[in-house]
Every structure is written in structure tokens, then in C-alpha cells.
Chain A
Amino acid sequence: MSKHNIVSHLKQRKIQDVVMSGRRMDGRGLEDYRELTIRSGMLEKSEGSAEVYLGKTHVVVGVKVGTGTPFEDTPDEGVLMCNAEFTPIASPEWEPGPPNEDSIELARVVDRGLRSAEILDTNELSIIPGKLVHIVFVDFYVLNYDGNLIDACSAGALAALMKAKKQVYEVKEKEPVLTDKKVPLTIRKQPIAVSMVKIGGNFIFDPSADEEEVMDARLTVTFDEDGNVCTMQKSGSEGLTMEEIRKCINTAAAKAPEIRAKVLASTK
């Protein structure tokens, strides 16, 4: 396909037919995830890092912990900032340039999952209230795109944050003094995103790039380890019924612990 963002009619028809019969083009069942591999801590200059392979989707998550001024309305809280980069190596369709709406949506959806779950103890990140706090940057770097970036980045973010460390500052005479000590960030919750797309009336989990290309709608639901929903995002042009939403949430709730287990295993 060239840079024209065109959906192939042949592909759309074939994928719809195959999904209708209860399978996917790569032989998976409708609810099956592709092979998920997670490594963490492989970048030495980042305070935290993770690499995720979900099928052929490949992302790297880097966590940098810096310092800066807090927001005015939350003077004694540290800051969490997420950013996504759709690098041009990830797909022949992607051109270099400033973030487009898809990469912004990706960053914001994963960000909301982390933020609503209150994954970080933001008070712990405060150094001098009102003047200096830790800022945790989480950057999603997409190296190869084959669908379901949200779930891959959500898993990667959790893996990277769980092993991330911050440098300790002591306060002497109201001034911050950098020490040699490094301590892990307190990770209070373990949010995991689960995404599904609707194709011809059927719902499938962990969509590939082709499946995302022909989808009618997508729903992402993020769960914490207690099974609470902490984020939802629906996109796509078709609507969903209440019954469909209910079924999605229930099936997704069973998937989140499986993904979480892989994340936790990678951080040992």
C-alpha cells in the first residue's frame, strides 16, 4: 500500500468472512492474543526501560526521571508525562514529523490508565513543595507496527515503571542537594489495557494492523489488579450497543491478569 491510507476491499471482505467463521487470518481464535514477550531494564541510560514484542508489533518504553517545577494547583505532587513517537521505521505508511492524532491518542489513553489508577505516589515525588518535584517521563517508541499499540505500550509502561529508580535529593537549608542514592519508584497499582475491535458484528482481541485497517470500531478497557476499570476509550465510526459493551468489559477483565502476569514475570 502506498501513502494513501486506503482500505483494500479484498482485504476487508476476506477478514470479515474469516472472522465470521470464528477464526483470524493468522489462525488465532477471536479472543486469542499473539505471542507476548517483555524484557525490562535493557537501556542503561534510562531510569527505567522495557521492550515489548506483541506478535510483530515491537515497542520500546523508556522512563526518565528528571526534576522540575510542579503544577500550580498541585504544589506538593510530582508529575507524570507520557509521550508516543510513531517512528518512520515502524511502517512504510508513516512519515517523520510531529505527533499525529493516533500517536497522541495512544499516549493519552495509556497515560490515563496510569494516572487514574494512581500508579505513582505523587507525594513521594515531591522534593521541595511548590518549587521542586520529580517529573517521570514515559516515552513510547514504536519500532514496528502490526496493530494493538495501546496494549503493547500499556504493558511496557508497567514493566518499565516497576524497575524504574529515582535519584534521592536531600533538602539542606531549603536547597536541594543531590545524593548518590537511587531508590525504586513506589508502584501502587498495576493497570493493564485490553483492546478489542469490532469487525462485521464480531469482537476480536489484540488486533493486527490489517484488522485495525478494516475495523468498524475499537474499545480499550484498562483494569487494575483488583479488577476495577480505570480507563475506557472507544474509537472508530460505528456505534456499540450496551450489551456489546458489557460483554467486552467482561471478556477483557479475564485477559488483563494474563498480560499482567507476563509483565510481572519480566521484572523479576
Chain B
Amino acid sequence: MSATFETRDIVVPGDVLYEGRVRTGENTYRNEGNVYATRVGLVNYGKEDVSVIALEGGFNPLVSDVVIGEVVDIELGQWLIDIGAQTEALLNIPDAVDQPFRTEFVMTRVLDVGDTVIAKIVDLDRKRTPILSILGPGLGRVSEGFIVRITPSKIPRLIGKRGSMINMILKETGCRVSIGQNGRVLINGRTREQEEMVVKVVHRIESEAHTSGLTNRIQEYLRKLKEERR
């Protein structure tokens, strides 16, 4: 009955994390009395379970996730949105337009193929297809800015504990940033220099997400970037 690694060791799929009975946390599975890792990441022996903080991985859509996506097709009554999940997401008319349906309604006037939206996942249907809504504060079609993509599993690091990391970035750069749980970050600044700082910081966070002391280091990095600008 024992842990075979130490917390924060890097493990790969198939590594035996625990021999014996323990609760299986994220990115682990149980087989014949042992608990194994299913993804490459940092093992964490919690008080009640064993889990792995994945260092790589695609986007796993969950209800109430805010995501940023692109309209890739229009079908009768719904738009197909690419959010980087294992299937395309659907946006139905009642979740996009807050008006009673009229027969002469033209879908492309609301959203056209090639448009970008900030949306919320309101449901996962029987086939696990994400169902979106753009009704609500902060949601809807995006008309300016640009998107930077990072690995979805690193998004929590970009946000930080209770928003500590992202709030610091907003304060130091003066940019508006919207974060999609699907690894897409929308950036909008008054100057190009400010925007470029945010891009550099986002990429640095992505490559160092697995280290500790990151918030302080990023704060120092931001100060250095601002110095260089002068």
C-alpha cells in the first residue's frame, strides 16, 4: 500500500502511481489493484486521492465553460462553431437571438461563416456535442482584437488563483483580455506594444505552467518588458 512517486514528479501513461486502494483522481485509472497515470503530467498525492495534473491535452468541454470559437457552417436553425473540441459545437437560434422567431429571419445577419464568438456551453447533448449560447453579459460576436491559442490545460495557470495572474496582466498592460476555457485568448489593446507584451506573457506562462513561483516571475517579466519599451 504505497505511493511509488513523490508529488510533482513527472509521470507518463502506464506509470504505477499507487499500489493498493486509493481514490482515483484526474488522469488516472485503476487496474488489478494498482493506480496508473493516463497522461503525461505531474503526479499529486492529495489527502484522499491520487491524480495527475496533465501537461498536455485537448479541450474537454464542460457545461458552463466560456469558450471562444469560429463559425464554420450554417445549417437550418443552427450555426456550427469550431471550439477545438472533439466535435464541432452547435448554436441554435433561440440561444443567439433574444426575439420571437420570424419567418423572414436571415441567419447570416446575426452570425456569418468566419465570424468569431464568445459563447457559453449550456448543455452537452446525448452525443456529447457541446450546445452553446451567446446570450448573456460578455458573450456574443467579437468585432475586434485577435486570438492567441495555448494548450487548454494551461488556462487555469493563466487565470491564476481567484484571477490573480490575469488581473495582474490586465493592470500592467492596460489590455482587455477574454479567456476561453478551450485555450483561446482574445486580446485587445490600445497600442500594438501593449498587445505584444500580453502575447509574450501568455506564451511564457504556457511554457512554464508546470513550475511554481510563476506569478512572481511573470510580474518581474512584465516589469522588464515595460522597462525595455521606454
- Contact surface of A with B, Cβ cutoff 8 Å: 1-2, 4, 6-11, 13-14, 18, 21, 23, 25, 27
Contacts and interface: CB of A to CB of B under 8 A. Distances in A.
Given A1-B82, A18-B192, A6 B70 contact: yes
A25 B114 CA distance: 19
Nearest to A4: B72
Contacts of A13: 144
The winner among B88, B142, B143, B192 for most chain A CB atoms within 10 A is B192
B51 interface: no
A13 B112 CA distance: 15
Contacts of A27: 196
B139 interface: no
Contact of A7 (B73, B114, B142, B146): B114
A2 B82 contact: yes
B145 A14 contact: yes
A9 B114 contact: yes
Contacts, number: 41
Nearest to A18: B192
Interface of B: 70, 72-73, 82, 88, 112-116, 142-147, 192, 196
A25 B73 CA distance: 27
A9 B116 contact: yes
Contacts of A9: 112, 114-116
The winner among A6, A7, A11, A21 for most chain B CB atoms within 10 A is A6
29 contacts: A1-B70, A1-B72, A2-B82, A4-B72, A4-B73, A4-B113, A6-B113, A7-B114, A8-B70, A8-B114, A9-B112, A9-B114, A9-B115, A9-B116, A10-B115, A10-B116, A10-B143, A10-B144, A10-B145, A10-B146, A11-B146, A11-B147, A13-B144, A14-B144, A14-B145, A14-B146, A18-B192, A23-B192, A25-B146
Contacts of A21: 192
A128 to B, nearest CB: 57
A4 B115 CA distance: 13
B72 A10 contact: no
Contacts of A18: 192
A11 B113 CA distance: 13
A18 B187 CA distance: 14
Given A1-B70, A21-B192, A23-B192, A10 B82 contact: no
Given A9-B114, A10-B142, 4 more contacts: A4-B72, A4-B82, A9-B112, A23-B192
Given A2-B72, A2-B88, A10 B147 contact: yes
A25 B144 CA distance: 14
